[in-house]
Structure 1
């Protein structure tokens, strides 16, 4: 094999040309050439019949001190952020699951504007049982509303403005003109609100999950493509 034509490793830099000239004295073999600088890294595989641009990591272990380009730094930061965010979300999910399993904390999604602006639709409220935290005036409680015949209607999260556990609490939505008709007693109260996570409930709706899950998969595909790991031709 005899190579005469120069191989330009960095096409954007006309002053940087690389060429190989000579011939093999032994059996046909391959030559791997890698050049790194602040602009990036280029690798070429010199074969007996052609020259192929490739990636060095396909053939040798990449040394840790190899130059990292600006693009790679951005990708590394984005990847690190994604990993950190994943750990945070996983930790929160595990913590909530553990607390929910032990009945210490329950999560509920707010659907109406009855407590606006303190609690808006789509907010996620965390509650603990009334046995653990006795309701008092000013607290927001989640209770099961019932019809006159005792049949459950739904769960409301409204603020305690009076009453007591014996005669029943007077509750009212901050955005409602009048108190609720029902005066829930302690056994009707499912939990006392201890924390509000704004808009997080919107992300847990079926429609949001239908969008988020494919988006995460798409983000993974984009990140994989940006790495530029071209196959050897």
Structure 2
């Protein structure tokens, strides 16, 4: 009586066709890259969320305390104050002056958030491509298995099962890589969008407050008294 085939995951990998083994290795590397990006984005988004709250608190209460010089909130407020210190051009309306201050602050927010975006396209690629890469390994493995069956002329389950299991295991690894990548990409993009909205709302409020403060008129050294 023939011994039952070994269908453990390690055996399926070691006994697979070289092409299928290459597909599995590629998918495992993609999965490792996916989790590395997920961990990095979790830290980055937590930091950005904290900066968004600090910016909103600083706008609501200017006496809330000093901000870290290297933080996004401080950089955003510096950008707004830089535009305010340049003064209002005589040809500018009050609305245009406020819009210029707000534009400078929004640019600082956009720059900070763009630094958190690298890696997200790779997550999207892994999430969308991995199932098809795994399917390619499955199709190749099934073709190789059927070729072996035809060569041996044996269609028993003990002969068919290992090759089919190896092929299907490639699809399983593809799904293991794709599912976390897709979930993480969606969550990260939604979180980034919310942080951007929070920061831009705070920037708008800060610009409105700065535009109402006494300002230097361009070309003048005197500031209006409060």
TM-score (norm 1): 0.32
The structure with the greater share of residues assigned to strand is 1
Determine which structure has the larger helix proportion and give its number.
Answer: 2
Higher RCO (CA < 8 A, seq sep 6+): 2
Q: Which protein is bigger by CA-based radius of gyration? A: 1
